[in-house]
């Protein structure tokens, strides 16, 4: 019986992956109508726990690996476990990499060359000028500068926000996009803080989507300005938007579309580095300096961890941070490339293209 289950699960995994790679319509249909079933059932179940179920599953997996040489029963069931892991990853992650990208839904109404526009008025490949990038960059910088004085601060200038309220606002902000992006409607899991936030910080990661538990997890010790954007980013993954640039883009739309100034600020800060760096790399220093300057307050808020929290991370670290970061970068880059994302971890930067499409679209 166990052999039959292994064979069936293995064949099903292969078939689903082949279909998703070769038939985009299959992936689109799956993510629109089947994937939500896992969120509504398994995701709803894991949301009942206040802690991250995914973290405990990872620990259980590590213990399993350690015990393989010593426990015969575990050795006998390892193949079954690996096949089931592959099937779950396929259902909750891999198929999502082959959907029609968000950029294909845009119709461009400005720019020097519209020759790439297809018969449906769509254009996912229009190249933008440096001037257009500069205009978007200045818009983002101005928004950050303005909102930095609108958010509530403590006497020492640090920002404050109730985390439980933040989780609710993140879900509502994402649900509000459901009318425009149908896959974003419906039930949302509750974002959860990671117990291993120190180790996650060593990877320079703000959050994780765990396919095995359908959870949106975030780094609990990163600076508070990152949290609304990260919560929305990870929630986008739980709604089948698995590409990092698309999750960044949807988090940007959700946060900046909120009525909450803090969420708006987090949304613009979340994309500031991407846009600012892209512009800086394409112009001379003189040209860059002639544009709107990012205020000192914004730079102070645009940090990953405070110095105090970095010290705590380093003081309690078991492994060297540089080693952990290199290993994490390699893992993420490899995972993305295996799933057809040719530029790997660099794909995060493609959010700039989506923002330009949004900025210059109808």
Domain-wise residue ranges, the chain:
2-102, 107-359
CA dihedral over 70, 73, 74, 79, signed as positive or negative: positive
Taking residues 329-356, report their average pLDDT.
Answer: 67
For residue 62, what is the enclosing H or E element?
helix 53-67
Q: What is the pLDDT of residue 343?
A: 44
45: which residues sit within 8 A by CB, 6+ positions away?
none
For the ranges 9-23, 115-129, 165-179, the lowest mean pLDDT is seen at: 115-129
Taking residues 227-235, report their average pLDDT.
Answer: 98
Taking residues 157-175, report their average pLDDT.
Answer: 95
Burial grade of 164 (CB within 10 A; 0-12, 13-18, 19 or more): exposed
Average pLDDT, the chain: 89
Distance CA 152, CA 169 (A): 16
Segment 104-130, tens digit of pLDDT: 887 654 444 444 444 334 445 578 899
Confidence of residue 164 (pLDDT cuts 50, 70, 90): very high
* CB atoms near residue 299 (< 10 Å): 13
More confident residue, 41 or 127: 41
Taking residues 118-147, report their average pLDDT.
Answer: 81
Distance CA 96, CA 211 (A): 11
Q: Using alpha carbons, select from 269, 246, 268, 283 the residue that is nearest to residue 132.
A: 283
DSSP 199-250: HHHHTT--EEEETTTTEEEE-TTS-GGGHHHHHHHHHHHTTT---HHHHHHH
Q: Kindly report the pTM of this predicted structure.
A: 0.89
Confidence of residue 348 (pLDDT cuts 50, 70, 90): very low
CB 219 within 8 A of CB 55: no
Distance CA 282, CA 211 (A): 37
Segment 272-295, tens digit of pLDDT: 999 999 999 999 999 999 999 999
Instruction: Look up residue 132 and give its two tokens.
Output: 């257009």
Segment 237-278, tens digit of pLDDT: 999 999 999 999 999 999 999 999 999 999 999 999 999 999
Sheet strand arrangement including 215-218: 192-193, 215-218, 207-210
Q: What is the pLDDT of residue 346?
A: 40
| The pLDDT of residue 345 is above 50 | no
Phi, psi of 210 (to 5 degrees): -100, 105
CB 234 within 8 A of CB 272: no
Distances (CA, A) of 51 to 31, 64, 208, 218, 286: 27, 21, 14, 12, 50
Confidence of residue 324 (pLDDT cuts 50, 70, 90): confident
Q: Find the radius of gyration of the CA atoms of the chain.
A: 22
């Amino acid at each position: 019986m166990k052999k039959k289950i292994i064979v069936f699960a293995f064949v099903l995994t292969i078939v689903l992956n082949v279909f998703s790679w070769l038939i985009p319509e299959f992936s689109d249909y799956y993510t629109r109508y089947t994937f939500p079933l896992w969120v509504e059932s398994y995701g709803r179940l894991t949301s009942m726990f206040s802690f991250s179920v995914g973290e405990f599953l990872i620990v259980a997996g590590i213990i399993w690996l350690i015990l393989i040489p010593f426990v015969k029963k575990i050795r006998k069931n390892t193949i079954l476990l690996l096949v089931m892991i592959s099937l779950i990853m396929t259902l909750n992650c891999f198929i999502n990499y082959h959907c029609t990208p968000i950029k294909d839904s845009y119709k461009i109404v400005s720019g020097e060359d519209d020759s790439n526009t297809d018969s449906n008025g769509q254009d996912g490949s229009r190249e933008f000028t440096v001037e257009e990038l500069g205009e978007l960059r200045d818009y983002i910088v101005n928004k950050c500068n303005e909102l930095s004085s609108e958010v509530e601060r403590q006497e020492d200038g640090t920002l404050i926000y109730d985390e439980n309220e933040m989780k609710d606002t993140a879900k509502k902000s994402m649900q509000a996009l459901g009318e425009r992006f149908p896959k974003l409607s419906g039930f949302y899991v509750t974002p959860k803080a990671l117990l291993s936030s120190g180790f996650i910080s060593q990877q320079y990661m703000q959050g994780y989507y765990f396919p095995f538990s359908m959870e949106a997890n975030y780094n609990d010790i990163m600076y508070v300005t990152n949290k609304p954007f990260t919560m929305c980013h990870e929630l986008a993954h739980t709604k089948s938007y698995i590409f990092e640039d698309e999750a960044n883009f949807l988090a940007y739309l959700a946060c900046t579309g909120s009525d909450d100034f803090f969420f708006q600020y987090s949304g613009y800060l979340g994309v500031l580095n991407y846009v600012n760096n892209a512009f800086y790399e394409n112009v001379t220093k003189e040209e860059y300096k002639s544009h709107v300057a990012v205020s000192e307050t914004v730079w102070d808020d645009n940090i990953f961890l405070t110095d105090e929290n970095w010290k705590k991370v380093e003081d309690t670290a078991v492994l060297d941070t540089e080693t952990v970061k290199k290993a994490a970068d390699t893992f993420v880059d490899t995972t993305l490339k295996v799933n057809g994302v040719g530029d790997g971890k660099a794909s995060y930067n493609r959010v700039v293209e989506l923002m330009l499409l949004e900025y210059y679209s109808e």
